Structure 1
Amino acid sequence: MSTMSIANNAYQMAAQLQQQAKAIEDPTPVREQVDFGQMVQSAVENVVDQGRVADAKAVGLIEGKTDVVDVVTAVAEAEVTLETMVAVRDRVISAYEEIMRMPI
């Protein structure tokens, strides 16, 4: 299974769980407007935060304050987050290109 399909499956499952949780909390369905720009900004901030955590853990390892396992885990989490962001970016670009090919 490729990273893109894993990320896509994870996103779909998270969306389904969120919808189920909302249905349990409020029986009357209310559509919320989602700001795409805000969603992208929060995703980029998440990637940056994961990178900073990995950097801090690496510095902690050099200083002797952090365990190697913590550093490897933080770097792996940052890598997965970045790969997910790249996969989403690729899908957005692909969708944009497909829309641009549509006849008016």
Structure 2
Amino acid sequence: MVTNEFVPGIKVFNEGVKGNIENKNEQNNIGSSFSEMLNSALNKVNETQVKAEEETNGFIKGDVNLHEAMVSAEEARLTLELAVQVRNKLINAYEEFNKMQI
């Protein structure tokens, strides 16, 4: 009896194994990798904000259509909202960590 007709390709399994090997190699650099990950995520948020602003200016000039400008503005809003929520979760985790008694 088939319960799920989804059969992943071999690519899924190869990338999973590759990712596990890379994770084991990177466990020595956890502090730097976390800060690098956070920095790259914030850079991506900044890039979406800049792209949205450029497309909005392009729409005002008549170079970009409304649909593209609205999509990029919504993407920028969502990425910023996600960044704020992640920041809030990190602050809450930090506060809970400080409340712990040793």
Give the alignment's TM-score, normalised by structure 1. 0.72
**Matching residue's letter, 2:16:** K
Q: Which residue of 2 aligns with 1:62?
A: 60
Note the alpha carbon deviations across 1:3-25, whole angstroms, 9 max, x for none.
xxxxxxxxxxxxxxx998332x4
**Matching residue's letter, 1:21:** E
Match of 2:15 among 15, 21, 24: 21
The structure 1 segments of at least 4 consecutive aligned residues displaced by more than 2 Å after TM superposition are 18-22, 25-30
Give the alignment's TM-score, normalised by structure 2. 0.74
Structure 2's unaligned 5+ residue stretches are: 1-11
Note the alpha carbon deviations across 1:45-89, whole angstroms, 9 max, x for none.
011100000011011111110000000000000011001111110
Q: Which residue of 2 aligns with 1:47?
A: 45
Larger Rg: 2
Query: Which is bigger in relative contact order (C-alpha 8 A, separation at least 6)?
Result: 1
Check 1:19–1:100 CA distance in 2 against 1; reply closer, same or farther (3 A cut): farther
State the superposition RMSD in angstroms.
2.5
Name the count of aligned residue pairs: 86
Sequence identity of aligned pairs in percent?
A: 30
1:1-104 aligned within 5 A: 21-23=15-17, 25=18, 31=24, 32-33=26-27, 34=30, 35-104=33-102
More off after superposition, 25-34 vs 84-93 = 25-34
Within 2, Cα distance between the matches of 1:30 and 1:56? 37
